[in-house]
Amino acid sequence: MNADAKHSIKADIAHHVHPQSNLRQHAEKGPTMITHGKGVFIYDSEGREIIDGFSGLGCVSLGYHNERLADAAMGQMNTLPFAPTFYNRSHPRVAELGERLIGLAPGGMNRVMFQCSGSEANDTAIKLLWYTNTANGNPNRRKIIGRVRGYHGNTVATVSLSGQPHMHRKFGLPLPEFKHTELPNYYRFHIDGESEIEFSNRMAAHFEDLVLSEGPETVAAFFAEPAISGGGALMPPEGYWDAMQAVLRKYDIKFVADEVVCGFGRTGNLWGSQTWGLKPDMVSCAKALSAAFFPISALMFKDEMYADMMKNSDEVGVFGHGYTYAGHPVGAAVALEALDIYDEIDLVGHVRKVSETFLARCRALSDHPLVAEVRGVGLFCGLELMKDATKREPFDPSWKVGELVQNFAHDRGLYLRAIGDRMSFMPPLIIKEYEIEIAADRFKAALDDAWAVVRGRV
């Protein structure tokens, strides 16, 4: 490690407060300093080459070092580096991107708003639900339902919507208008002898019970990812979405599909909503919208909601919402270039092709003594770690088995994410089959390393 890298690490420890990190551990050990990347590989200050098995944070769809995206950003910076979209002003790039996205969107969307992150897109969705319900005669419809272990962002509202206890503790959250229904983890929570469809129907029945206990007339919307990312790459069980959407239709509850992770090819379709037959009223997207090369997100919705927004705007005199960098011209230019690249290389077709190898190698890990279940789709896979797979007996949380696997994987040159004792494996969408083979071998070796540590306790 050279002197510059050592100085960067020292400065980081001294001044940089890291999100979603153990602050004590960071103060004592410092960060892993990533210095550069190319393709599906990242490189740290110690010279290690690491396959990015988590796509940064589920966002680096085209990998690292893409000259076309860099050129798109530089070209726009040289033409128009910033332009506000407040006060009825616009610019060509954002107008083009809005038209392009609406042409791609699932579920008959007609309108789009831009923000800088998935958190902001989902926060905007919450505000618009409340805003439009005051216009359509339903001002008491303010409650928002998410799922236990679901994740939709880190603003005060979106983290309240998210079902992540560690993000609530010590913050005085969640806010009272946010409720949570069950996590549809069939493996962990099914009753012995219960089929997936029976389990899904039970989940929907419990969701309906929650709606009825809160009062359907008070519930504005249900937010959900097509497949859960923040809860550990959790795929919906058979029949889940049919059963859940039936409840939503029965009580006229809006459905917001959070496509921040699933969107733009992750599941083998352009949208996760297509993979599982969802019919949302609103769709949020971010991350792969710009292949992570620029912070930009979008919220799409239908004309009927826009009509209610117009009513309030007429009465107040202005639509009182927005972000300084919403629809940033550089972000819009990068997103348009990313969408062009996706089309030209048939990214969705590539994901479908290589997913056969990816999912086969993931499923092969189900034979490992640490692994109880493997489920995935496209380039999106979750592995459940269990002390006893047959009895569904979890490890003692203090053993931190998932974290052990995560750390051993990093040591062997593979970046994975542990969510408790679930492993999330979701590499950049451009990954090649031979790179999948290398990554899977490293994953297996990391599991072996962790098993060597814990097997004496089992």
Q: What is the pLDDT of residues 418-431, one digit of tens each?
A: 999 999 999 999 99
The tokens describing 333, both together, are 């230019």
In which order are the strands placed within the sheet that holds 297-301?
111-115, 297-301, 282-285, 254-258, 219-224, 143-147, 178-181
3-class DSSP state of 219: strand
- The strand pairing partners of 338, in sequence order, are none
Backbone angles phi, psi at 359, to 5 degrees: -70, -35
Q: Which pLDDT score, from 0 to 100, does residue 247 have?
A: 98
Locus of tokens 């929650």: 210
Report the distance separating Cα 413 and Cα 394, nearest Å.
Answer: 27
Report the distance separating Cα 358 and Cα 380, nearest Å.
Answer: 9
Q: How many domains does the chain have?
A: 2
Q: Which pLDDT score, from 0 to 100, does residue 107 have?
A: 86
CB of 133 within 8 A of CB of 220? yes
Residue 68 CB coordination number (10 Å): 16
The pTM assigned to this predicted structure is 0.95
Q: Which pLDDT score, from 0 to 100, does residue 457 have?
A: 83
Q: Which pLDDT score, from 0 to 100, does residue 178 have?
A: 98
Report the distance separating Cα 16 and Cα 76, nearest Å.
Answer: 30
Domain shared by 82 and 40, yes or no: no
Q: Which pLDDT score, from 0 to 100, does residue 20 have?
A: 87
Say if 107 falls within a structural domain: yes
Report the distance separating Cα 174 and Cα 162, nearest Å.
Answer: 9
Domain termination residue (choose one: 298, 321, 344): 344
Locus of tokens 């919402």: 321
Q: Which pLDDT score, from 0 to 100, does residue 418 have?
A: 96
Residue 57 CB coordination number (10 Å): 14
Q: Which pLDDT score, from 0 to 100, does residue 223 have?
A: 98
Domain shared by 238 and 317, yes or no: yes
Domain shared by 191 and 56, yes or no: no
Domain termination residue (choose one: 344, 377, 410): 344
3-class DSSP state of 347: helix
Q: What is the CA radius of gyration of the chain?
A: 22
Domain shared by 168 and 254, yes or no: yes
Residues of the chain with pLDDT under 50: none
Domain shared by 295 and 441, yes or no: no
Q: By residue range, what is the domain housing residue 389?
A: 32-65+346-454
Say if 260 falls within a structural domain: yes
Domain shared by 243 and 122, yes or no: yes
